[in-house]
Chain A
């Protein structure tokens, strides 16, 4: 039973971390263009060289 004393907070912390990362991703505009993002992932132009996405 004592294991629960730290397992529950750890579970909540990990869940909360997921939530925080989702909110961060939302805020930084990663959900603004879902269709475009699918194509951007396939691009093979190295970053920095003619890379418009900033």
Chain B
């Protein structure tokens, strides 16, 4: 009996891996660039026990993993990838899936309508040329029926994106571009079906379906741009928030992706780490760097019971933090309220294509109707009048609007993407082109956002090397930047051995000659009243040496400000930091208009005042305190090191240490706008020539379809110039 039971259990266990449901997870990979990386990523993940499949995607910069949740977790994958040299972070894939589902639905529509358009055109050309020669009448009728058999299901399937959108616009008593499109397609199809049944010759399935095909291509490009922008932004956010260490009730440490943290979780924040979520300090006291939140560069002291915000860097001692839900009295809640108010202003912006559609759609409908009524009044049969009216609708059908603007924008976005700039809002390109004033935040935007050793020639190489050797033992931001500075000047730094760290004070080690210390002024036995961040280094047998640190300007900040000024932009600096620091940075960067010690609401008030003067402001900022201002400004950019909420709000996110992306984005935005306008001009010229001909009845729908395709190709080719 027992033996039987054991055998049974063994059997179940043998099958267990198959039966157990596997979970899937998607990770964003930061630095995957080539086929070799793709392989290494997949190999690294597959080596983790419990992983069933791993599939990396080079265009999405992600890897999808199917795994057994009992054997592996996010932290294992991230560690394995880190060992292979890749930075990775989990992302929530659910939202993205919905977007890609819509994208592949549109691609299916493009494929179906493309197939139908080619085949119907093939048959149509036979019929049209047959009419001039000796084609049998019965054969022509048969061909028209075949066209109808292909066209009807195609229109019913691939026309849906337009029909649903037109229907919802009509329900809301509005007119959008999809109303004339749907009308043209449905009328042309219905009319052709009627003519086919009567054995008539006015059959234009070809026109209806090829119109559908071109419009769908435009729609698909537009959606592709949106999906890619959203995906990139999601990757960045995921990589930034990273992994938090949660202490379980039983004392075990567990790595949890930051977005999966729940209120009540107990976090351990190591020195030098960012706090992953808003919370209250439970244990430990020390200083935190809140520059990402408030723009203030001087560290803030925190003790038990005080609140810390996501994005602050812990400086001195490990902190235990309890994650807290947002409550209405905090800075975050205030920023949330300001954001909501500011975003309502942004929503009033109408896209170029929509503004054009507002004028275009009524004109198209009016013209179509006038043609129909006019020909009836002149005594034409209603079929003829309707055919001419359809030709007018097809001719005027806004391909330039439906295809040209997305084609330009996708070309512009891929150009910017290659330079590390992510276009998050499709209409951001239009808005940035209109800006006439650029406003910068200070910390993290004009400046790099972390302390750098001021190039002090007083410090000799030996001292720097020795101090950096000690500093290797600490994760304190100042110690780290000391090491970076030493590596820059002297090459590789050898860590000193036997170093002891006293939290909140500094580092020390004993040598034969005496003691060696690195840290706060008091720790090294000096009294200093310096307002800047500084670190002292002292050997017992020598006098102490001071290392001064400051948040320095981005390498090209002054140049970029100069370029913007020469291009005629007004440049201003708005900061939440202290007056003397802001003044110094403004002077260095060459900005005359600056304001310091501003709260988020003050920044918005300032921006609103400019908006009332009719100025269109491009806001560049990174802090949590900038987020409302980013939402309120006409256009906005933020560096990829910015706070989550700012990156979500900004129209553009740029990577790297340089500020040049600002001028690049402005330049590309302007070129994109002039190209969109060129495309409108192409469409207009062609309308001016063709519409009178169509109204007069000289253009058959077939010719209309061919001319329209040509203009679409022209307009797309024009847009492609931007991608180079």
Contacts and interface: CB of A to CB of B under 8 A. Distances in A.
Interface of A: 1, 4, 8, 11-12, 15-16, 18-19, 22-23, 26, 31-36, 38-40, 42-43, 50, 52-54
Q: What 4 A-B pairs are tightest by C-beta distance, nearest first?
A: A39-B35, A36-B58, A33-B57, A52-B42
22 contacts: A4-B139, A12-B119, A15-B118, A15-B119, A16-B115, A18-B115, A19-B112, A19-B115, A26-B104, A31-B104, A32-B57, A35-B58, A36-B35, A36-B59, A39-B35, A39-B58, A43-B35, A52-B45, A52-B53, A52-B54, A53-B42, A54-B53
Nearest to B118: A15
A7 to B, nearest CB: 11
A36 B111 contact: no
Interface string B43-85: 1011000000111111110000000000000000000000000
A40 B104 contact: no
Q: Which of B34, B35, B45 has the most CB of A within 10 A?
A: B35
Interface of B: 34-36, 38-39, 42-43, 45-46, 53-60, 104, 107-108, 111-112, 115, 118-119, 122-123, 136, 139, 143, 146, 150
Contacts of A19: 111-112, 115
A4 to B, nearest CB: 7
A36 B58 CA distance: 5
Contacts of A18: 115
Given A23-B111, A33-B58, A36-B58, A42 B35 contact: yes
A33 B115 contact: no
Nearest to B146: A8
Q: Which DSSP category, helix, strand, loop or mixed, fits chain A's interface?
A: helix
Contacts of A8: 123, 143, 146
A42 B146 CA distance: 44
A30 to B, nearest CB: 11
A36 B119 contact: no
A23 B76 CA distance: 37
A11 B119 contact: yes
Contacts of A16: 115
Nearest to B115: A19
B59 A34 contact: yes
Given A1-B136, A31-B104, A39-B36, 4 more contacts: A15-B115, A16-B115, A23-B108, A42-B35
B231 to A, nearest CB: 12
A43 B37 CA distance: 12
A52 B34 CA distance: 17
Contacts of B53: 52, 54
Given A4-B139, A26-B111, A53-B55, A36 B38 contact: yes
A42 B107 CA distance: 27
Contacts of A1: 136, 139
Contacts of A4: 139
B38 A40 contact: yes
A12 B60 contact: no
B400 to A, nearest CB: 28
Contacts of A53: 42, 55
A39 B54 CA distance: 16
B214 to A, nearest CB: 18
Contact of B108 (A26, A36, A40): A26
Which of A15, A18, A33, A52 is the most central at the interface, judged by chain B CB atoms within 10 Å of its CB?
A: A52
A38 B54 CA distance: 18
A38 B33 CA distance: 13
A40 B107 CA distance: 23
B150 A12 contact: yes
